[in-house]
Structure 1
Amino acid sequence: MARPSGLAWLYAPSPASLLFAVRTTAAAIISLLIAMWMELDSPQWSAMTVWIVAQNSRGESLSKSRWRVVGTAVGVVMAVLFTALFPQQPFLFLPAIALWLGLCCTVATMVRNFRAYAAVLAGYSCAIVGLAAASNPNDIFTVAVSRSTYIMLGIVVEGSLAALFAINGETQARIALRAKLTSAMDSATDAVAHVLDGGEHAFQRSRALFGTILTINDQIEFTEVEMGHHGSEGDHARAALAAVSVLLSRALGMATRMAALPDEQSDFRATAGMARDLMRDIPPLLAHDEGAANAMVRVRALQDQCRARITAALGEELPPQGGVSEEHMTMLLDRRVLHQALWELLDDLYFALREFHASTRPDVRDHFHFRLPAPRDYTEALHNGIRATASITVASLIWEVTAWSSGLGFITIISLTVGLFATRENPVIATSNFFRGTVAAAIVAGIMSLWVVPAVNDPTTLAAVLAVPMIVGGLAARNASTALAAAAYNIFTINMISPLNGGRETEIAYFNSAVATVLGAGCAVLIFRMVLPFNTDSVRWRMRGRILGDLRRLAASPALPDTRRWVGYSADRMARVVRHAGPAPAPVIEAYLQGTLAAMTIGLNVIRLRHLHARQQLPPSARRPVEVVLRRMTQFTGRYGRTAAMAHAATRILRQLEIRESDIEKRLEMTRAIAYLLVISNELDQNADFLNAQRPYRRVDGA
């Protein structure tokens, strides 16, 4: 079979890509012509705004437009403030802008989606407006109003055309949301089915699902915009995704228990077989409107069977002096541990199905609210702020030393590039591609400015000649491998062409603009490579250290930990491992994914153990070993294996106490404690190298 050409996105685009390119090109040209009709001094800014806010979905475009208005407003206000405070004082004005951009990039690193975009926009909008009026501070208000006008014009035109092209947008958004949730549920239940079937590598195909879950979780915000305010479907969808994450972690714990306990549980194997069949039946069920409800009924029925097996095992054990051998008592306890774990796994599945079902049933009376909290990497945020501040500082020094006539434009381009990419997890790769797009924009703009535009003498012809390079840029923006380069191309091409009402950009003006733009983007690339450069090994090492700290806090926090927060943090870490993969060998990434998933599972079982301990239904003799493990967990370093040894010892003690206990409720509580400790101890043993953050993690599969 012939491999598709690398230029297939250009000569054989998908209908969706072609529609996006044509729609956005039309919006950019219309906004440009309106700005020229209004006789604004820099009409190209309205077209640039269209390309900046244009997204694949209307929900994303609307969300980005809203936050762009917020970011622009804040940036304009700060530009006016700095200009008023430091008129004709470049050695105060430029550092103030540098520090402000650094602060904005720091804040942007700690928030998600287009809120981060609004934060960086507040930074580089301040630079754009402030620097535009630097030579004549008295014009700051005029510049601020004109820039705001361009942006609002671009947003309105792009939003209007996006709405015009959005056919049955609300219905399509609901269909897309259901499809994404169904895909996540299908993958999760398939992984769990393989675990219950005894598959050793059941999770290798599903670990990347955590990255998908996080992506879907972020996109739900945009889907909600498209669906409108009808209920809490988006919150139920987020809750379903969180439940899927917990389900996968619970399945890993299930696999650990099945491997740790003797394989002589024919009774459990029969129940596990029914659960496996149920997991495989769920994907076709979810294709129907009432499929989730029917699946929930089957889950509850299977949970009842698990309870019946637990009760039957207890019946065989009682009374303890009834002639039952200790070996048989141990086997019955193992059976109860496995069935209790399976019951809890099915309970997580039930919760996921319930939230999935609710996400497909809009109800204006439903006020359910759910969010997966995002972890904040303060070190990364600080690094981003320092890089942004350093970039403007270096550019300002270059301008001051050289007195370059295009120096302010040079600083503006650097601030724009740094602002756009400072919050990227690997800005070196992002800015390198952006630089390539900038060079392409300079070449195309040169051809247009020097040979094509001079022959144009009416708006219709101008629209026709601009449409071709714009459509190409729109198609490139929809192709993953060229998207970053296309972002620069689409923004800077029209800026360097700079169509005007009263004439055209002169050759000298074009060359000055092109040189400042290309050098600005190139300087930004160098700064990202030289100032606190991104290093995947150090990022992963730092992540392991944070995992240890978080595990200690789960055991030590005065308040009972929030499962939702832990799931959100863990899913984000797994997604970052995948995104940071880069040139790292696949076995290394697999090992990190396994270690991160194991840490998530350990944390969830620590949380469950703490909740069990807080219920105070364990007898004092059983509470003590649990307290010892939790206390040891607060000092967990990942070294020496002491915490794992404590967990193993506590498991043995609880097993002995459980056999002698006559109170049924207390025995069931001890069964749960044994199940949690079993997972904690075994996962600590199996992932000892990963959890020892004092040394680099070099393990690969088979090593």
Structure 2
Amino acid sequence: MNARASLTAKLMSASTWRDALLDWSRTDGLTWIYILKAAGAALLSLGIAMKLELPQPRTAMMTVFLVMQPQSGIVLAKSFYRIAGTLVGSLVTIVLIALFAQEPTLFLLSVSVWVGICTFGAARNRNFRSYGFVLAGYTAALVGIPAAQHPDGAFIAAVTRVTEVTLGIVCAGTVSALVFPQYTGDTLRTVVRARYARFAKFVADTLAGRADRAGAEQTHTHFVADVVGLEALRSFAVFEDPRTRMRSGRLSRLNTEFMNASTRFHSLHQLMNRIRANGQHEVIDAIAPYLREVSPLLLKKNGEPVRNAADAEHAAAQLQAFKESLPRRIGETRTALESHTRVALLDFDTAAEMLYRFVADMHTYALTYASLSADLHERERTEARYVPRTNTTAAGVAGLRATLVMLALAAFWISTAWTSGGTAVLNAAPTCALVASMPQPAKTASQMAGGTVFAAVAGFIAMFFVYPRIDGYVMLCAALVPFLLVGMLIATRPGWAGYGIGYCLFFSFLAGPDNFIHYDPSSFINDAIALIVSMLVTAVACAVLLPPASPWQRNRLLRSLLRQVAAACTERLGRARRSLESGTRDLMHQANALTTDRPDVQAQMLGWMFTVLEVGHAAIDLRTELANLPDNACYAPSAAWRREIQRMLEALAALFGTPTRERLVASREATSTSIDAALQMLDAAATPREDRHQLQRTLSYLHFIRTALLDPRSPLNISMPGMPASHPKGANTAA
């Protein structure tokens, strides 16, 4: 027994160790693989640059740290835009030197303006296109400022700069793709599966009453991040994976359809809550059986979650069958309710329409998900695409800030003739551009300055105490590895990325060895001080000159968010819905990033997002129904009831353009009046059955807008305390 117990204990111990090792390999093990790959790629680029006798091998080494990422698709995407930016920056450098080489003041002014323009582009594009703008500005400063003192060598300097950058990119991409590769496409497929499963569970929990308000808000916040994250992964994966390239259009379409389905479900849920709060229990009892049938439709036939595209095909078939049977069944249920009040009928019609629209959007989403199992599919052809764009004003402020920082440092350089003043000026370019797209640029720039202080100390030790005592490339690699591993380890720690970036980049800048090393302590110290000063000046500028997290910037985001409804009421229908979803969720993502330490502000912005999406979608649906009405005089835009609806849309656009108490009252009155006018038209006109259904759908959207305007939990009413829950005018149609 003792021997058997001992053997069992050993087996359990071995199993525990194996499980722990597997867990480590999936977490910290992957981090260490990435760290070692980055260090190896940096040393490889350094060795090749030295062998080719390039002027500054350290540039290739720095490039590796700039583009290296854990997944190969991200490295390739980042590299592509970095090369493009470097080529553009080199071209601009040659032009500026040709124009202003003999006028240092004008040259520095033009470079500062160019860097400001590139920083605007880097802040505006919150994806790896921003790196193209970063490099376009940085290259102009890095190549132009030294070359301006020797204009005849500007072209050679630009060519060698491009060569060094390209070498670093090739080394990073090769190592990332060949050594324990991690593919972005695999992550993308995992995210697509997980999001569908999470949304299906959220729908089931919400309809069953298992999701509380706080949990639902948190889930919707995750969905916003999912939309942004999936589009980023798609844009990376197309660089590495031909299968993803063939499905790129469908993945973009899938993102848009998910946004539509999640918004429609939230609108349905909110409407049911409003109906319940108004005591319309007969409407709840009538629609509840249909809601209970929805959740099983999103699963496999045996009730298990959908795990891949093939499973989604079955879910799409179930949704299709349910959608086709729903109008007839809803019609039968409505017949039983015709003896109730008109308010109850409007509530039921609106709830039924929201349910049908949700099922239709979910069916479309499942069809696109199922189409991913095929390499080629007709759903690949789509114009729907989520494009992240930072608020134009915020990006403009970042560009202006970069220009002012460059000009201030340039003025200091000219007035003091500081030997390392040029280093301070050229380093301000990438620092301003790198932090421009970050939610806390002042904090990131400060962290980079702290990392540079550490890099200066480590670089001084390497330069003046290690290098003189070694000989040969192998010994050089052995000496550099500890320094590089420390920096990469810091860069991978949560909350310490700024320190790690500053250390890795500027250790390479200060102590990256050249073919002929110049041991000049005073120049080393001056350059280190210049780097730190440029980052501290950038941090101060970001903290003082309209910082992103300031109330001013939050208010700008909120105004941009509300204007999405105004655009939904007036913009061309062909792109209105896509613009609404993409723009609203992108603005919400920016707001979340800027208010990580303010959960109260995040909750407020989330409430506004829901209101904007609900009202915006209803306005677009309303306009779509009106646009599809038959060519008949009673449906013409000049008809009285159509004019009332148009006035309502104008009042709605004015309300969300600048919310005030008076405009909210006017919007409520206009909505009530338009509902009354549409009801009179429906009662008076002898119209075909299909036309009546279309008019009833129009009434449903009008009624939904009015319930949203009356909702006491809406930010519109919360931000204007004292507003009554209803208004006497049009009370007969109040919900």
Task: Please tell me whether the aligned partners of residues 112 and 407 of structure 2 are also in contact (alpha carbons under 8 angstroms).
Answer: yes
Report the CA distance between 1:192 and its aligned residue: 2.9
Deviations 1:502-522 (A, max 9, x none): 345332232122122222222
- 645, 650, 667: which one aligns with 1:631: 650
Deviates most, 541-550 or 243-252? 541-550
- 68, 83, 89: which one aligns with 1:54: 68
Counterpart position of 1:421: 435
Deviates most, 402-411 or 11-20? 11-20
Report the CA distance between 1:379 and its aligned residue: 1.0
2: CA distance between counterparts of 1:288 and 1:375? 31
Is 1:301 paired with 2:321? yes
Is 1:684 paired with 2:697? no
1: CA distance between counterparts of 2:553 and 2:545? 15
Counterpart position of 2:273: 259
Deviations 1:150-184 (A, max 9, x none): 111111111111221255x6xx5443222111222
2: CA distance between counterparts of 1:340 and 1:366? 26
Counterpart position of 1:542: 556
2: CA distance between counterparts of 1:127 and 1:607? 48
Return closer, same or farther for 1:331/1:644 CA change in 2, 3 Å cut-off.
closer
Structure 1 unaligned spans of 5+? 1-9, 318-323, 697-703
2: CA distance between counterparts of 1:197 and 1:45? 59
Task: Please tell me whether the aligned partners of residues 439 and 549 of structure 2 are also in contact (alpha carbons under 8 angstroms).
Answer: no
Name the SS for the 1:392 alignment partner: helix
Deviates most, 206-215 or 256-265? 256-265
- 691, 697, 704: which one aligns with 1:672: 697
- 359, 365, 381: which one aligns with 1:346: 359
1: CA distance between counterparts of 2:62 and 2:186? 32
Deviations 1:413-450 (A, max 9, x none): 11221122223343112212222221221122122223
2: CA distance between counterparts of 1:394 and 1:71? 25
Counterpart position of 1:185: 196
Name the SS for the 2:176 alignment partner: helix
Task: Please tell me whether the aligned partners of residues 55 and 61 of structure 1 are also in contact (alpha carbons under 8 angstroms).
Answer: yes
Task: Please tell me whether the aligned partners of residues 188 and 247 of structure 1 are also in contact (alpha carbons under 8 angstroms).
Answer: no
Is 1:523 paired with 2:537? yes
Report the CA distance between 1:590 and its aligned residue: 1.1
1: CA distance between counterparts of 2:93 and 2:357? 56
Deviations 1:381-432 (A, max 9, x none): 2211111110110000110111111111111111221122223343112212
- 511, 514, 527: which one aligns with 1:500: 514
1: CA distance between counterparts of 2:515 and 2:306? 58
Given residue 192 of structure 1, which amino acid in structure 2 is its aligned partner? V
Q: C-alpha root-mean-square deviation of aligned residues, in Å?
A: 2.9
What is the TM-score normalised by the length of structure 1? 0.90
Given residue 312 of structure 2, which amino acid in structure 1 is its aligned partner? A
Name the SS for the 1:415 alignment partner: helix
Task: Please tell me whether the aligned partners of residues 231 and 365 of structure 1 are also in contact (alpha carbons under 8 angstroms).
Answer: no
Counterpart position of 1:273: 292
Counterpart position of 1:114: 128
- 609, 612, 620: which one aligns with 1:607: 620
Return closer, same or farther for 1:138/1:455 CA change in 2, 3 Å cut-off.
same
Return closer, same or farther for 1:613/1:483 CA change in 2, 3 Å cut-off.
same
Task: Please tell me whether the aligned partners of residues 441 and 490 of structure 1 are also in contact (alpha carbons under 8 angstroms).
Answer: yes
Given residue 646 of structure 1, which amino acid in structure 2 is its aligned partner? A
Given residue 179 of structure 1, which amino acid in structure 2 is its aligned partner? T
1: CA distance between counterparts of 2:299 and 2:343? 32
Task: Please tell me whether the aligned partners of residues 349 and 696 of structure 2 are also in contact (alpha carbons under 8 angstroms).
Answer: yes
Is 1:80 paired with 2:91? no
Q: How does 1:536-685 map to 2 (within 5 A)?
A: 536-557=550-571, 561-584=575-598, 586-617=599-630, 619=635, 622-636=641-655, 637-639=658-660, 640=662, 641=664, 642-651=666-675, 654=678, 658=682, 663-685=688-710
Percent of aligned positions that are identical: 23
Q: How does 1:450-465 map to 2 (within 5 A)?
A: 450-465=464-479
Counterpart position of 1:3: none
Report the CA distance between 1:378 and its aligned residue: 2.0
Name the SS for the 1:123 alignment partner: helix
Report the CA distance between 1:644 and its aligned residue: 2.8
Counterpart position of 1:310: 330
2: CA distance between counterparts of 1:423 and 1:25? 26
Aligned residues: 677
Report the CA distance between 1:561 and its aligned residue: 4.7
Given residue 192 of structure 2, which amino acid in structure 1 is its aligned partner? L
Report the CA distance between 1:481 and its aligned residue: 1.6
1: CA distance between counterparts of 2:467 and 2:482? 13
Is 1:175 paired with 2:176? no
Name the SS for the 2:282 alignment partner: coil
Return closer, same or farther for 1:512/1:184 CA change in 2, 3 Å cut-off.
same
Q: How does 1:296-445 map to 2 (within 5 A)?
A: 296-313=316-333, 315=335, 325=339, 327=341, 331-332=344-345, 334-363=347-376, 367-369=380-382, 370-375=384-389, 377-445=391-459
Task: Please tell me whether the aligned partners of residues 545 and 693 of structure 1 are also in contact (alpha carbons under 8 angstroms).
Answer: no
Counterpart position of 2:177: 163
Task: Please tell me whether the aligned partners of residues 250 and 379 of structure 2 are also in contact (alpha carbons under 8 angstroms).
Answer: no
Report the CA distance between 1:376 and its aligned residue: 5.2
Task: Please tell me whether the aligned partners of residues 178 and 360 of structure 1 are also in contact (alpha carbons under 8 angstroms).
Answer: no
Structure 2 unaligned spans of 5+? 1-23, 722-735
1: CA distance between counterparts of 2:717 and 2:355? 30
- Structure of higher RCO (CA pairs closer than 8 Å, 6+ residues apart): 1
Return closer, same or farther for 1:174/1:386 CA change in 2, 3 Å cut-off.
closer
Return closer, same or farther for 1:561/1:415 CA change in 2, 3 Å cut-off.
closer
Return closer, same or farther for 1:325/1:13 CA change in 2, 3 Å cut-off.
closer
2: CA distance between counterparts of 1:689 and 1:315? 32
2: CA distance between counterparts of 1:403 and 1:254? 68
1: CA distance between counterparts of 2:390 and 2:534? 30
Name the SS for the 2:238 alignment partner: helix
Deviates most, 100-109 or 641-650? 641-650
Deviations 1:75-95 (A, max 9, x none): 111111111111231111100
Return closer, same or farther for 1:687/1:264 CA change in 2, 3 Å cut-off.
closer
What is the TM-score normalised by the length of structure 2? 0.86
Name the SS for the 1:555 alignment partner: helix
Report the CA distance between 1:632 and its aligned residue: 2.0
2: CA distance between counterparts of 1:680 and 1:430? 43
Task: Please tell me whether the aligned partners of residues 190 and 280 of structure 1 are also in contact (alpha carbons under 8 angstroms).
Answer: no
Name the SS for the 2:44 alignment partner: helix
1: CA distance between counterparts of 2:27 and 2:286? 56
1: CA distance between counterparts of 2:308 and 2:197? 14
Deviations 1:643-702 (A, max 9, x none): 133224434554566567664223322332232223322323347984599999xxxxxx
1: CA distance between counterparts of 2:103 and 2:494? 44
Task: Please tell me whether the aligned partners of residues 58 and 166 of structure 1 are also in contact (alpha carbons under 8 angstroms).
Answer: no
2: CA distance between counterparts of 1:643 and 1:470? 62
Task: Please tell me whether the aligned partners of residues 390 and 590 of structure 2 are also in contact (alpha carbons under 8 angstroms).
Answer: no
Task: Please tell me whether the aligned partners of residues 577 and 617 of structure 2 are also in contact (alpha carbons under 8 angstroms).
Answer: yes
1: CA distance between counterparts of 2:25 and 2:377? 46
Report the CA distance between 1:289 and its aligned residue: 4.7
Task: Please tell me whether the aligned partners of residues 598 and 687 of structure 1 are also in contact (alpha carbons under 8 angstroms).
Answer: no
Task: Please tell me whether the aligned partners of residues 121 and 130 of structure 2 are also in contact (alpha carbons under 8 angstroms).
Answer: yes
Report the CA distance between 1:231 and its aligned residue: 5.3
2: CA distance between counterparts of 1:408 and 1:558? 50
1: CA distance between counterparts of 2:27 and 2:330? 59
Counterpart position of 2:167: 153
Task: Please tell me whether the aligned partners of residues 573 and 620 of structure 2 are also in contact (alpha carbons under 8 angstroms).
Answer: no
